[in-house]
Structure 1
C-alpha cells in the first residue's frame, strides 16, 4: 500500500487522584480548553473534552504514530503542571495513575460527543466508579479491582 489512511478515535477517561473534586464548575471550561490545546500540540485532535469535578473524558482523533498512552500522558502531565501554575490554591492537585482508553468508530462519534457534553447531568444519577466499571465491562476489559482506584 503506497499510503497510510486511518480513522483512530479514542475515548480516554481518567480521574483526579483519589477522585478529589478539584475541577470545579467555574474552572472546568478553561481546563477542557487547555487539554484540547495539549492534544493539538502533540498532533491529535480533541473532538470533545469534558467531565465533572473528579474526572475527565477526552474523545480524540489521533494519527497512527500517537498511541493512546502517549495522548493520556501528555494531557495529564501538561495539564497538571498548568493547573498548579494557574490555580495556586490547587497545588495538591494530581491525576490518578493510569487511564482507560476505548476505541470509537466514526459512526459512534456523535453519541460519545453527546455523552461527554452531558456529564454534569449524567453524574447526578451515577458516580464515576460505577461509570468506569460499566465502560470496562462493556468493552470486555479485564481488570483487578485491587489496582483499579489507585
Structure 2
C-alpha cells in the first residue's frame, strides 16, 4: 500500500430546529455510539463533545472516505439510536447540512482543547456566533438563508 495521508476534519452538526434536546444524562452514550459509527467506517475519532443543540466531532479521515456519506450515516444511525432508546419524548433528528473544517497536525491540540471545552466556551458565545466565526475564519462563502435554522435568542 503506497497511500499515506493525514486529513483532519472538524465536523459540526446541529439538532433539527436547533432545539436543546441532547441531555447531559445521555450525551456520553450518544458520543460513544457516534464513535462506534466512525470507527466501523474505518475512520479515526479524535475528539467529540457538544452542547444540547449541536455536536463537534474531530476525525482523522482516510482519503477513500466520502465525508458526506460518513456524516449521512452518523446522522441516520444516531437518529435511530436516540429514538429507539426513547431519550426524549418527541422525535429526535439532526438538521440538514453540516459544517466541515480542515486542520493541520500542528493545530490538533488546540482543536481538541476547543472541543473538550464546549460547555465553558458557550457561556460566552452562542452557537450561531461560533458557527459564523468558523465560516469567516475559514473564508467559506455562505448564504445566511442556507445556514442552520436558528432559534432566535430571547432578550
Structure 2 gap segments, 5+ residues each: 150-155
State the secondary structure of the residue aligned to 1:75: helix
Aligned residues: 149
**Secondary structure in structure 2 of the residue aligned to 1:25:** coil
Equivalence for 2:133: 134
Structure 2 contact 46–58 (Cα < 8 Å) conserved:
yes
> What CA distance in whole angstroms lies between the structure 2 residues aligned with 1:109 and 1:89?
34
Query: TM-score if structure 2 supplies the norm length?
Result: 0.92
Structure 1 residues 56 and 88, CA gap change in structure 2 (3 angstroms): closer
Greater helix proportion:
1
Show the counterpart of 1:118: 117
Q: TM-score, normalised by structure 1?
A: 0.95
Which segments of structure 1 move beyond 4 Å, counting only runs of 4 or more? none
1:6-25 alignment to 2 at 5 Å?
A: 6-25=5-24
| Further displaced range: 72-81 or 84-93 | 84-93
Residues 107, 66 of structure 1: CA spacing in aligned structure 2 closer, same or farther, 3 A cutoff?
same
Q: Does 1:50 align with 2:38?
A: no
Root-mean-square deviation (CA, aligned residues, Å) is 1.2
Unaligned 5+ residue runs, structure 1? none
8 Å CA contact 1:83–1:90 kept in 2: the answer is no
**Structure 2 CA distance for aligned equivalents of residues 13 and 136 of structure 1:** 12
The match for 2:30 is: 31
Structure 1 position 67, deviation (Å): 2.3
1:17-64 deviation digits (Å, cap 9, x = unpaired): 111001111111111111101100111111111101000000001111
